Amino acid sequence: KIMNQLLGVNQIEKQLAEYFGIKRCVVVAGDSDEQPKVVDEFGEALNEALMQLLPETQNIIAVMGGTTMATVAEHLTNLETDTRHNLFVPARGGIGEAVTVQANSISAMMATKAKGNYRALYVPEQLSLATYNSLLQEPSIQEVLGLISQANCVIHSIGRALHMAARRKMTEEELLMLKQKNAVAESFGYFFDEMGKVVYKVPRIGLELKDIQDIPIVIAIAGGHSKAKAINAYMKNAPEQTWLITDEAAANVILKGV
Ligand code: F6P
Protein residue with least CA distance to atom 8, ligand 1: 159
Q: 3-state secondary structure string, 59-105?
A: EEEEECCCHHHHHHHCCCCCCCCCCCEEEEEECECCCCCCHHHCHHH
Q: Which of 41, 87, 98 is nearest to 65 (CA)?
A: 98
Q: Is 94 in the pocket of ligand 1 (CB under 6 A)?
A: no
Q: Is 73 in the pocket of ligand 1 (CB under 6 A)?
A: no
Predicted local confidence at residue 125, as pLDDT: 65
Q: Which residues of the chain have pLDDT under 50?
A: none
Quote the DSSP letter at residue 227: G
Does the pTM of the predicted model rise above 0.80?
A: yes
In whole angstroms, give the CA distance from residue 146 to residue 56. Answer: 21
Q: Is 86 in the pocket of ligand 1 (CB under 6 A)?
A: no
Please report, rounded to a whole number, the percentage of residues in the chain having pLDDT higher than 70.
96
Protein residue with least CA distance to atom 12, ligand 1: 66
Choice from 40, 158, 209, 234 to test ligand 1 binding pocket (greatest atom count within 8 A of CB)? 158
Q: Which of 225, 238, 166, 249 is nearest to 198 (CA)?
A: 238
Predicted ipTM > 0.90: yes
| The total number of residues written for the chain in this structure | 258
Q: Which of 220, 84, 208 is nearest to 149 (CA)?
A: 208
